[in-house]
Chain A
């Protein structure tokens, strides 16, 4: 059973069919890429999978559970994390607090116990702070743990967003263009991080325009064009597929 199975998914916005009967699967433990020209429907696909939008028709199964009608927080609870194409960190919180928000569900305290700062809340908070700091260390952001997130560079905020998603302890993480806006050095570091995340046991589904990076890290790539799946396969096969070249890769420089 694949970790994620999308079946014949259609998504209509007013007057626009963003996805037209797309089926694809993500196996456990892989890094899967999703590529395609602007407006192909990649982000729409992620919104449907993470529950932020409901599909017009079709179904989506995650770990064998039908999630097409579920709320984002329920899907998160099943073990899925995601990042956004335009970075959505919480600027008025520190870096470490951003990650701690990702651990929200691990904390069992309620409003009264938090307000009274009972001894076990204190312990719980300390524990989560330590864990969140560890996450920042893994991501190479620990030196700036106390910085308000808005003071981090764009690239650092994108990494922080990944950290926040990982803090929920997901089986699968959706990354929407993690390399966009990053310097070449940052892209290289990001590629390594993504591979390390996979080694830690998290499956990765990544939308990316940066062909060099996708070709390097992905085990498998799916290609969307005008809301339809036009190809799926290993990176080498995708690179040479004439339909993909015509729709998308034509003129792409391999960075």
Chain B
């Protein structure tokens, strides 16, 4: 069943791709384009965390910090040193990855609640450092005037262009993540998530696997942060706080653990929902809480593995036909 759904996906990947390309053209509303841009950025974040949380089974409540590290790296490099955005984009991911490696080595020895607390602490320390080192980060007010992302003279200066840029990057990272999960890295991650004992007795270095996946997911967040800085043209600390970290975790849980498409679907869904709830920002944490509880009650395996796949499966004609065959059997 699971395997068949996976095959279905492969066949229909092209259709989704076509739909993604056409969507903003069919619906030329700048607000929608902007939302899709944000959704794409969150989807990159969720995709990265999905590897760490959904596959390797480790919690991180400080992921917004890597997003922030990416954004500030790009902000500082482009505004202070006039580094091209394309170079800053890679430098952002590299910086996030290096920092993830350095803090991952010690804190990934922790498990469960302790790991949650340590990563949460890391996120808070990041915020304090950003606020305090004013000369570098502009303190509370942040950095302004970050240039649009540009590549070989082409500037991504409208929401529509940014949409294609960001969903293009998302697609590339999705392919990377898909390859990772079907390789030894994905198998080792799942093995570590289920039983560290069993994994270590077949020669897997548990600590190395965890740090490796953590670094990858931080690099994804670094890419997302860099794109975010270019899209918003500013970087300021309040964008990278605990509520974002929790939002990313929610996207993965709602999207479904051990699944790459689900978190992307969840990122779009939650971005849209937050836009609707935009007027109630001060209540965002309780609202997230309620949404999370409702979703976990009704879709305990995540919408990705239940609703999302189920829906896509049913929508397609082949899916319906197969369904009928199954019923007859």
Q: Could you list which residues of chain A lie within 8 angstroms of chain B, going by C-beta atoms?
A: 50-52, 71-73, 76-77, 81-82, 84, 88-93, 97, 100-102, 104-105, 107, 109, 111, 114-117, 121, 125, 128, 146, 148, 164-165, 167-168
Complex CA–CA separation, A165 to B179 (angstroms): 25
Complex CA–CA separation, A90 to B295 (angstroms): 26
A168: chain B residues at CB < 8 Å are 202-203
Cβ B180 vs Cβ A115 within 8 A: yes
* Chain B: minimal CB distance from A181 (Å): 18
B215: chain A residues at CB < 8 Å are 111
B191: chain A residues at CB < 8 Å are 90, 93, 101
> Taking A91-B194, A146-B3, A148-B2 as contacts, is the C-beta distance between A165 and B201 under 8 angstroms?
yes
Cβ A90 vs Cβ B200 within 8 A: no
Q: Which size bracket describes the interface of B in this complex? A: 20 to 34
* Chain A: minimal CB distance from B183 (Å): 4
User: What are 7 A-B pairs at a CB distance below 8 A?
Assistant: A72-B197, A92-B190, A93-B191, A101-B204, A104-B203, A111-B216, A164-B202
Q: Mark B158-184, 1 if CB is under 8 A from A, else 0.
A: 000000000000000000110110111
User: Would you call B123 an interface residue if the criterion is a C-beta within 8 Å of the partner chain's C-beta atoms?
Assistant: no
Q: Mark B188-223, 1 if CB is under 8 A from A, else 0.
A: 101100110111111111100000100110000000
Q: Mark B292-324, 1 if CB is under 8 A from A, else 0.
A: 000000000000000000000000000000000
A77, A101, A116, A117: the one contacting B199 at CB < 8 Å is A101
Complex CA–CA separation, A41 to B285 (angstroms): 51
Which residue from chain B places its CB closest to the CB of A75 in the assembled complex? B201
Complex CA–CA separation, A62 to B222 (angstroms): 45
Which residue from chain A places its CB closest to the CB of B215 in the assembled complex? A111
User: Would you call B116 an interface residue if the criterion is a C-beta within 8 Å of the partner chain's C-beta atoms?
Assistant: no
> Taking A90-B194, A92-B258 as contacts, is the C-beta distance between A114 and B183 under 8 angstroms?
yes
A164: chain B residues at CB < 8 Å are 202
Complex CA–CA separation, A109 to B216 (angstroms): 15
Complex CA–CA separation, A102 to B187 (angstroms): 10
Cβ B179 vs Cβ A50 within 8 A: no
B180: chain A residues at CB < 8 Å are 111, 114-115
Complex CA–CA separation, A92 to B181 (angstroms): 13
Complex CA–CA separation, A103 to B185 (angstroms): 12
Complex CA–CA separation, A91 to B198 (angstroms): 12
Cβ B202 vs Cβ A81 within 8 A: yes
Complex CA–CA separation, A89 to B179 (angstroms): 23
Cβ B201 vs Cβ A121 within 8 A: no
Which residue from chain B places its CB closest to the CB of A105 in the assembled complex? B203
B2, B195, B203: the one contacting A77 at CB < 8 Å is B203
Cβ B200 vs Cβ A73 within 8 A: yes
Cβ A81 vs Cβ B176 within 8 A: no
B188: chain A residues at CB < 8 Å are 101, 104
Which residue from chain A places its CB closest to the CB of B200 in the assembled complex? A72
B182: chain A residues at CB < 8 Å are 125
Which residue from chain B places its CB closest to the CB of A100 in the assembled complex? B187
A50, A104, A165: the one contacting B187 at CB < 8 Å is A104
Cβ A114 vs Cβ B201 within 8 A: no
Cβ A116 vs Cβ B176 within 8 A: yes
* Chain B: minimal CB distance from A216 (Å): 27
Cβ B194 vs Cβ A73 within 8 A: no
Cβ A90 vs Cβ B203 within 8 A: no
Cβ A52 vs Cβ B212 within 8 A: no
Complex CA–CA separation, A164 to B187 (angstroms): 13
Cβ B202 vs Cβ A167 within 8 A: yes
B2, B3, B184, B258: the one contacting A104 at CB < 8 Å is B184
* Chain A: minimal CB distance from B284 (Å): 33
Cβ A84 vs Cβ B187 within 8 A: no
B206: chain A residues at CB < 8 Å are 73
A89: chain B residues at CB < 8 Å are 198
Cβ A73 vs Cβ B184 within 8 A: no
Which residue from chain A places its CB closest to the CB of B205 in the assembled complex? A73
B195: chain A residues at CB < 8 Å are 88, 90
A93: chain B residues at CB < 8 Å are 187, 190-191
* Chain A: minimal CB distance from B178 (Å): 9
Cβ B202 vs Cβ A114 within 8 A: no
Complex CA–CA separation, A184 to B201 (angstroms): 29
Cβ B212 vs Cβ A114 within 8 A: no
B179: chain A residues at CB < 8 Å are 114-117
Cβ B190 vs Cβ A90 within 8 A: yes
Complex CA–CA separation, A128 to B2 (angstroms): 22
Which residue from chain A places its CB closest to the CB of B202 in the assembled complex? A102
B187, B212, B216, B258: the one contacting A101 at CB < 8 Å is B187
Complex CA–CA separation, A165 to B253 (angstroms): 32
A146: chain B residues at CB < 8 Å are 3
Complex CA–CA separation, A217 to B194 (angstroms): 33
Complex CA–CA separation, A167 to B187 (angstroms): 14
Cβ A121 vs Cβ B183 within 8 A: yes
Q: Given contacts A90-B195, A92-B190, A109-B184, could you give 19 more A-B pairs where the C-beta distance is less than 8 Å?
A: A52-B200, A71-B200, A72-B200, A73-B203, A73-B205, A76-B200, A82-B201, A84-B198, A89-B198, A90-B191, A92-B194, A101-B188, A101-B202, A104-B203, A115-B179, A125-B184, A146-B3, A164-B202, A168-B202
